[in-house]
């Protein structure tokens, strides 16, 4: 009866709420999300429109799927939508949400975000790690050469490169052992896991029963012990010159100087560094993996990019970061990839802190908000042939990913937008430019490249890219 009632007699409200698909008792619309929520929500938006009000378990969730809705949330009413919902697993994993990405909006978040923006991720700082990126790129080229045309697992090499760059920048050296790799993998997998307790508090015991909470506790403990030893090592180091400081050195310096007027406890340092790994490794590698996959499927685009690289490289051993500014097609390829394969398709959820009107609808305070950036980037009213891979659309176009063009928001926007766009794209541009400059890749299997997507917060390729590589003479 409850089922029939909720299907056919939805409760009336005097508020003008956005349209809602029928829901089931207890779980609401959870069952409709499937294994690919960005695609399922996109399909639902075709029926219910650019603003839908879902109920995931007991939580009201607003789903925005149009440019106007995204602009209203991230620009017009940015402050109202700058909170993050409290989610059980990120809270266990990230020191009770003391990191930047999951912290509640307020003074604490303002302080930690400004530490990241003013000390860790400035243009100057990103530039200072140029040698790390170039070193790791040279190493990757060597590894591919060493395979002597036999099968190369490009996905694995790209993961290893991004992890190494982030490790060296954040911690001062690489941790290539299986233990660290597995810890990071388990951490990222868990971060994208669905926790029943976050959406149906009365069923929180399910997360304990399935072992989800226990796994989160274990990983949090393992990371904590790891960071504890990394920080101890850094504290006992002799003087470090500004030019060779890693992110932990900088955070310890900010802590010592107390120049921000905000006391940074050790857990805060650990939580910020954890964010750099959580937000910075998977996302960055994902963009590269999809870019190469699309180029393998579009030989004309590959040829054009290689021509550009060869003209700029002029036979020198490597494309350097000074060359990248001139590589317009390279930038267009990466943008087009971010559009078609938005690494975090639903961005990071937000929460409203006041009643507000959005596109004429009433949105109550405390509503969780999902922005379907993936759907917006394929909106046929904004993009010509939206499902086609056509990097040319970004040549001579002002559209950029910095959060001002709401049809293209792979890094989000507004106050909660990603603070590390430059950090990520510095890696991706250098890596893609050099891969196509140095090698011809061909698929190992005759079949078309499998483009299926993985499940999780960051959506990467389900299967790795296997190619054979020959050096371009
Ligand atoms: C291609 C690579 C990347 C993509 C696509 C990406 C995407 C995003 C997105 C969608 C958000 C949420 C934005 C919003 O809510 O509006 C975000 C937030 C964040 N990203 Fe990135 N990111 C990338 C790389 C990085 C890297 C390399 C780092 C660190 C070094 C990083 C650190 C963060 C942090 C700390 C936040 C939280 C900001 C806040 O809540 O105030 N990201 N990122």
The CATH code of the domain that includes 76 is 3.30.43.20
Q: Tell me which of 77, 85, 411 to substitute to probe ligand 1's pocket, judged by most ligand atoms within 8 Å of the beta carbon.
A: 411
Residue 145 belongs to a domain: no
Q: What is the C-alpha to C-alpha distance for residues 419 and 401, in angstroms, rounded to an integer?
A: 12
CB-CB neighbours of 368 under 10 Å: 21
The average pLDDT across 48-60 equals 96
Give the separation between CA 412 and CA 418, rounded to whole angstroms. 6
Q: How many angstroms separate the CA atoms of 32 and 458, rounded? A: 20
- Ligand 1 binding pocket (C-beta < 6 A) is 100-101, 113, 116, 275-276, 279-280, 283-284, 287, 343-344, 347-348, 410-413, 416-420, 423-424
Q: Tell whether 164 is covered by a domain.
A: no
- Name which residue sits closest to atom 28 of ligand 1, judged by CA: 280
Model pLDDT for residues 200-249, shown as the tens digit of each residue: 888 889 889 999 999 999 999 999 999 999 999 999 987 777 778 999 99
Domain total for the chain? Answer: 1
Nearest atom of ligand 1 to the alpha carbon of 344: 10
Look up tokens 């650019």; give the residue. Answer: 50
Tell me the residue range of the domain where 23 lies: 1-87+347-376
Q: Is 446 within 8 Å of 381 (Cβ atoms)? A: no
Helical pair 154-171 and 178-191, crossing angle rounded to 10 deg: 100
Distance of alpha carbon 101 from the chain centroid: 11
CA-based nearest residue to 469, from 437, 433, 439: 439
The number of the ligand 1 atom at minimal distance from the alpha carbon of 338 is: 5
> Is 11 part of any domain?
yes
In a domain, 265, yes or no: no
Q: What count of other Cβ atoms lies within 10 Å of the Cβ of residue 257?
A: 8
ipTM: 0.99
Edge-to-edge strands, sheet with 466-471:
151-153, 466-471, 439-443
The predicted pLDDT at position 181 comes to 87
SS3 content of the chain, % helix, strand, coil (to 5): 55, 10, 40
Let me know if residue 434 belongs to a domain.
Answer: no
| Residue 36 domain-assigned (yes or no) | yes
79-137 per-position pLDDT tens digit: 999 999 999 999 999 999 999 999 999 999 999 999 999 999 999 999 999 999 999 99
Report pLDDT for 4: 62
Question: What CA dihedral angle connects 148, 152, 286 and 227, to 10 degrees?
Answer: -80
Tokens of 163: 């992890």
DSSP state at residue 119: I
Query: What dihedral do alpha carbons 51, 56, 58, 64 form, nearest 10°?
Result: -20
Q: Per the domain annotation, does 410 fall within a domain?
A: no
In a domain, 147, yes or no: no
């Amino acid at each position: 009866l409850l089922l029939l009632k909720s299907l056919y007699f939805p409760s009336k409200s005097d508020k003008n709420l956005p349209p809602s698909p029928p829901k089931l008792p207890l779980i609401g619309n959870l069952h409709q999300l499937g294994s690919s929520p960005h695609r399922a929500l996109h399909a639902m938006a075709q029926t219910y429109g650019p603003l839908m009000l879902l109920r995931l378990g007991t939580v009201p969730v607003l789903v925005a799927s149009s440019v106007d809705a995204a602009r209203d949330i991230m620009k017009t009413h940015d402050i109202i939508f700058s909170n993050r919902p409290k989610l059980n697993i990120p809270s266990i994993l990230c020191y009770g949400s003391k990191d930047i990405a999951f912290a509640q909006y307020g003074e604490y978040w303002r302080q930690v975000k400004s530490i990241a923006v003013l000390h860790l991720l400035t243009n100057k700082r990103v530039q200072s790690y140029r040698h790390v990126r170039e070193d790791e790129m040279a190493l990757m080229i060597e590894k591919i050469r060493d395979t002597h045309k036999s099968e190369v697992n490009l996905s694995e090499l790209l993961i290893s490169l991004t992890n190494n760059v982030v490790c060296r920048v954040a911690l001062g050296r690489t941790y290539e052992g299986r233990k660290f790799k597995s810890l990071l993998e388990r951490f990222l997998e868990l971060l994208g896991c669905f926790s029943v307790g976050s959406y149906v508090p009365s069923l929180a015991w399910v997360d304990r029963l399935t072992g989800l909470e226990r796994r989160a506790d274990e990983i949090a403990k393992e990371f904590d012990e790891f960071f504890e030893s990394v920080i101890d090592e850094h504290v006992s180091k002799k003087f470090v010159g500004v030019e060779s400081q890693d992110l932990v050195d900088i955070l310890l310096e900010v802590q010592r100087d107390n120049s921000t007027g905000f006391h940074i406890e050790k857990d805060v340092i650990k939580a910020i560094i954890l964010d750099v790994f959580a937000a910075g490794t998977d996302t960055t590698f994902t963009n590269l993996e999809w870019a190469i996959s699309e180029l393998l499927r579009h030989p004309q685009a590959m040829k054009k990019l290689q021509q550009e690289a060869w003209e700029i490289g002029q036979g020198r051993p490597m494309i350097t970061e000074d060359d990248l500014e001139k590589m317009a097609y390279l930038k267009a390829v990466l943008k087009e990839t971010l559009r078609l394969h938005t690494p975090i398709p639903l961005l990071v959820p937000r929460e409203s802190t006041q009643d507000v009107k959005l596109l004429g609808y009433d949105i109550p305070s405390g509503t969780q908000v999902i922005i379907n950036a993936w759907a917006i980037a394929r909106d046929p009213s904004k993009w010509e042939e939206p499902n086609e891979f056509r990097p040319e659309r970004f040549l001579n176009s002002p559209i950029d990913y910095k959060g001002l063009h709401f049809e293209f928001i792979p890094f989000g926007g507004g106050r909660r937008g990603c603070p590390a766009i430059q950090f990520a794209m510095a890696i991706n541009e250098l890596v893609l430019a050099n891969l196509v400059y140095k090698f011809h890749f061909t698929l190992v299997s005759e079949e078309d490249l499998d483009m299926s997507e993985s499940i999780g917060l960051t959506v990467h390729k389900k299967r790795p890219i296997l190619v054979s590589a020959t050096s371009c003479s």
